[in-house]
Structure 1
Amino acid sequence: MPMSVGEIAMRARDQLVGLTGLPAGTVSSLAHREDGWHIIVDMIELKRIPESSDILATYEVVLDEKGNLMSYERTQRYYRGQVEGKVQ
């Protein structure tokens, strides 16, 4: 039986947590393409006080049809609440 979209999202997030050691993040995008499932997950990379200075990162995760991790890549780092731009 094929996995549901919710199961794919949770699988991507859980596998990313296992690889990075970062706390579970928010799935912000999910799309099915020819080469598998592409999921965008935002994770907290560095927790600070105040929270507005937390450093977050966006990861793209690719899963195959069975939900197995094929690849992942950090595509962006930014401060919480930052609208545009990247952390250097």
Structure 2
Amino acid sequence: MATRRHEQDKVDKSDSPPRVVTLAQVARTALGEFAELTGLAPEAMTGARPDGDGWSFLVDVTELERIPATSSVMATYRVDADRLGHITSYERLRRFSRNATDAS
């Protein structure tokens, strides 16, 4: 019986189904890695979409803190991550004043 149990422990795990990860978990991992890589604290995730085998996020950060805060310089980054949330690439898409709004 001990031998049989030992044989079951050796079963190849590659046939097991892939681990299910929620979008919230993927985003949390990606935003944490983004902050670590850039030194910028994400303030908002303004977009998320599946991208191939992973995800693409839009992340807003404060790049330059000013007084009053409405004149701070913000930026939107696209952060691409694999299916588990590990960053594969990122780039700044735009910069804007905190008080700016998009044209309708």
Query: What is the TM-score when the length of structure 1 is the normalising length?
Result: 0.87
List per-residue Cα deviations over 1:32-88 (Å, max 9, x = no partner): 122520001000001111011000000000011122211000010000021248xxx
Shift of 1:22: 1.3
- The Cα RMSD (Å) is 1.5
Length, aligned pairs only: 85
Normalised to the residue count of structure 2, the TM-score between the two structures is 0.75
Are the counterparts in 1 of residues 35 and 41 from structure 2 also a CA contact under 8 Å? yes
Q: How does 1:8-87 map to 2 (within 5 A)?
A: 8-84=26-102
Amino acid at match of 2:37: L
Higher strand share: 1
> In terms of Rg, which structure is larger?
2
2: CA distance between counterparts of 1:12 and 1:77? 21
Aligned 8 A contact 1:13 1:25 in 2: no
- Give the 3 Å change call, closer, same or farther, for CA 57–17 of structure 1 in structure 2: same
Question: 2:45, 2:60 within 8 Å by CA — same for their partners in 1?
Answer: yes
Paired with 1:10 and 1:33, the residues of 2 have a C-alpha distance of: 17
- Say whether 1:3 aligns with 2:24: no
Task: Could you tell me which runs of 5 or more consecutive residues in structure 2 were left unpaired when the two chains were aligned.
Answer: 1-18
Aligned amino acid, residue 17 of structure 1: A
Contact 2:44 2:61 in 1 (8 A): yes
Note closer, same or farther for the CA distance 1:56–1:4 as it changes in structure 2 (3 Å cut): same
Question: Unaligned regions of 5+ residues in structure 1, if any?
Answer: none
Report how far residue 10 of structure 1 moved: 1.3
